[in-house]
Structure 1
Amino acid sequence: MSPIQDLKLTYTIPNNRKTLSEGDTIRGSVTFSLTKRVKVKRIVVKVKGDARVEWTEGGGDEETSYSGHRRYFKLKENLVPEGAELHKGSHHFKFKLKIPEEDMPPSFKGPHGKIVYMLEAKISRSWWLPSLMQEELNFTPKSSLLHNQVMCPHTGSVRKEFGVFSKGQIRLTATVDKKVCSQGDTLSIVVKISNFYSQKIRPKFSLLQKTVFRARTSTKTHEQSLCTMVGDTIKGNTEDTVSCRMRIPIDAVLTVHNCDIISVDHYLKVYLDVSFGFDPIVIFPLIIVPLRCVTRKPGKNVGPCPAGPVGPPSYSDLPPPAFPPEPYPTSGVPGYYGYPAPDPTQYANTASGFSNQWQQLVTPPCLFNAAFPPPPPTAPSLFQEAPPTYESLFPDLNYTNDFSEPDENSELQRENK
């Protein structure tokens, strides 16, 4: 029986936070008791950050294994001189370790890899197995994702023509109010649909996560749907505007762009379910960050959103979202809001046919409302660069059949809860 009993590792993070960030100092202690006098080789406390990937392909004699590893840092502190003799009884050692001020990815766990930050205490003795205590740390970086990112809306449109069983044209124009969002945040989505087609169609919304694992020259891709919502049916030969509020899951994985063997991206997929035809699809890239990373300082003045692509991402204080300062109530529908009156100086954007004057919709999560009046004429889109196509983001999938569609009855029941 080992003479080392009740080994415990305790620690605190600045401001009693539950997550660790670069530059933080970890303070803690290692406690244990000895049933007799013991000579130890060393007592060490370590903190380290590592990314690992591993998977196999093929089978039998043709099975191939792939693996990769990246170490971001490793710090250690020796608590006693090497070869020290410790008396019988209780022992208590304090330690202090400072995390490097470097750009490191957040904690992550996936089917083929993980990014893990670990704190451990180890007591080593000659000719004996070491006594080990480990605590996994939740690391969320303070920098590297939001530099020069702006809280402006995305806008994208797509047009499809059909002529096999019946002729017609469908146009989908969608706008989402932000491209940088936090865990637990809510996206406001407005879709304008022109259904010059004889068949009924339904708008659908999916929040997708795409993870790519890399080892040597090979990659392994994993896609999953985090949330799916279904809107009301749009009849043939009609035009309508549908609004939706989608909540980002509070436990959603953060976007990872600064790890060369693991990357995590998020997309909002807006599409129409068309019978006997290809579904029109618009894809919006999203960046998901911790809640504290999108908190704005009071009184900070922010200029207009720049046009065209922005600079490399990193964390920073963000300008307020591009919403009008006050809601505009719609008569007869308490709790709902329409669109602001058009500015006489605005001019129409016939290319998009959609409003960039955003109004935050005060509707419950997972609630759709197709009864909004059509939006006013609009100024040109703030973003010159069109959203990527679904096929370019998910080339390995048949985009007409990529995600199983939810059962409509169960989906509507879930929405009404």
Structure 2
Amino acid sequence: MILDKVKRLDIVFESPEVDSPPVFSSGDVVSGKVLLELSAATRLQSLKLHAEGFAKVHWTESRSAGSSTAYTQNYSDEVEYLNHREVLLQPDTGDTTVLHAGKHEFPFSFQLPEETLVTSFEGKYGSIRYWVKVKLHRPWVPVRKIKKEFTVIEPIDINTPALLAPQAGTKDKMARVWYRNYGQVSVTAKIDRKGYTPGEVIPVFAEFDNATSRSVVPKAYITQTQTFVARGTMKQKRSVVATLSGDTVGARCRGTWHGRAIKIPPVGPSILQCRIIKVEYLLKVSVSVPGTSKLSLELPLVMGTIPLHPFGSRTSSVSSQYGVNLEWLRMTVSEQPEPPPDYSTVVSGAEVEQNVRPLPDEEDFSGMLGRPFSTYVREFRLRPPPVYSEVDPNPQAYNMRRRCMTC
């Protein structure tokens, strides 16, 4: 029986934060050290490091070949993103070198590819993984191996014109049960932008027009769709990550959402650049009509990693450059308007005396009809406005928009 003299073989990554696993992105330098502890002097042939990164998919499907026979079809594919090899220990002369008993450290460092990598991911039918593998070769002893994974997150900045653009849409359908029509249902919805980060709240603006004879229930969902592709075949897994329920909209009535909030839970970022694995998100605004199929309006979402910058000149310039109409987003209009400036601060007394002529005497009114109309305009151009008041002196009845068509 051969006594193994290796007490410990481990890989330790350097991390800027203590007790926190490191996270990398394309172009970053991955560094660390291999820890080797020996119980006695040992001859070693080599110590090699291999860094790899792959996107892999795999699933099986049962196929029927007749009434009594069936077979299983395998689907698999992979894409390589990282392949780096490095020798940490190589004998200078001869086939082996001797290391004394005790602890030894072998530092390593390599740079990730500059081109865009893909975010680490674990799914039902596939995964995207990155790891460092170390092999210790000794004479007459099986190779000792150790592997440790690390995380790659490719940044997605939502502060781009494409992801700051508002998303909106309209959809309608005729509610039918067998041969009977119950009427039409329509949904109009919009959100302020396409890109969000986990933890944010999405304000949903929507209008539900129910022209049917039945009550409907509006809802909103955030869904995640994982797509796996292999050998021209696609496999998908859909899940709902957040929900929002609204109030019932009665028959032949209209309901509105003025910024109903739906919060994004902790989910992974979107994966859109991988050939065989994609992770996509949607906001679905739907209406459930009893007895018939659901009406759903889908608005695309992108889950980013870099949150929205404070609203300011940068966003304004982006929106103006691309002609985005953000009027419907301005929800902070003050309920109490500011009073206008005092008349004396706008027009001085000297201007009033110079431009405003006194009214003619009563006996001169007979000749005023012969004067040009512009004369009267000049006379009243600088007249003081009425005294400002927050209470309307001449209130008028408002014609409020009715919610129900039958009211």
| 8 Å contact kept, 2:38–2:101 | yes
Which amino acid in the other structure matches residue 9 of structure 1? I
Task: Provide Cα deviations, 1:130-150, integer angstroms capped at 9, x if missing partner.
Answer: 333322212111369876424
SS of the residue corresponding to residue 303 of structure 1 reads helix
Cα distance change, pair 163–149 in 1 and its aligned pair in 2 (3 A): closer
Question: Residue 248 of structure 2 aligns to which amino acid in structure 1?
Answer: T
Name the counterpart of 2:14. Answer: 12
* Residues 1:50 and 2:54 are matched in the alignment: yes
Q: Residue 265 of structure 1 aligns to which amino acid in structure 2?
A: E
1:328, 1:47 → 2: CA distance? Answer: 58
Q: Is 1:62 aligned to residue 68 of structure 2?
A: no
The residue matched to 1:159 in structure 2 has which SS? strand
The SS at the match of 1:120 is strand
Deviation at 1:108, TM superposition (A): 0.7
CA contact (8 A) 1:103 1:143 kept: no
CA contact (8 A) 1:57 1:63 kept: yes
Describe the superposition over 1:90-119 as per-residue Cα deviations: whole angstroms up to 9, x where unpaired. Answer: 111211121111111111111110000112
Closer, same or farther: CA 322–264 of 1 in aligned 2, 3 Å: farther
Unmatched 5+ stretches in structure 1: 311-319, 331-372, 375-417
Q: Normalising by structure 2, what TM-score?
A: 0.71
**Larger strand fraction of residues:** 2
Q: Which one-letter code corresponds to 1:109 in the other structure?
A: E
Does 2:260 align with 1:244?
yes
Q: Which has the larger radius of gyration?
A: 2
What is residue 226 of structure 2 aligned with on the other side? 211
Q: Give a deviation string over 1:228-287, Cα, whole Å, max 9, x none.
A: 22111111121121242112121x122111111111111111100111223221001111
Residues 303-343 of structure 1: CA deviation (Å, up to 9, x unaligned):
326669x9xxxxxxxxx99843845469xxxxxxxxxxxxx
Opposite residue 77 of structure 1, the aligned amino acid is E
Aligned length: 320
Deviation at 1:29, TM superposition (A): 1.3
1:150-189 equivalences in 2 (<5 Å): 150-162=163-175, 164=177, 165=180, 167-189=182-204
> Matched residue of 1:234: which SS?
coil
* Counterpart AA for 2:113: P
Shift of 1:30: 1.4
Cα distance in 2 for residues equivalent to 1:26 and 1:298: 36
Percent of paired sites with the same residue:
24
Of residues 63, 73, 78, the one that matches 2:87 is 78
Aligned partners of 2:311, 2:28: CA distance in 1, in Å? 22
Q: Which stretches in structure 2 are left out of the alignment for 5+ residues?
A: 64-68, 337-399, 402-407
Mean alpha-carbon deviation: is it higher for 58-67 or for 170-179? 58-67
Distance in 1, matches of 2:205 and 2:160, equals: 27
1:284 aligns with 2:299: yes
Q: Which amino acid aligns with 1:39?
A: R
Partner of 2:162: helix, strand, or coil?
coil
- How far apart, in 1, do the equivalents of 2:15 and 2:312 lie? 26
Q: CA deviation at 1:293?
A: 5.7
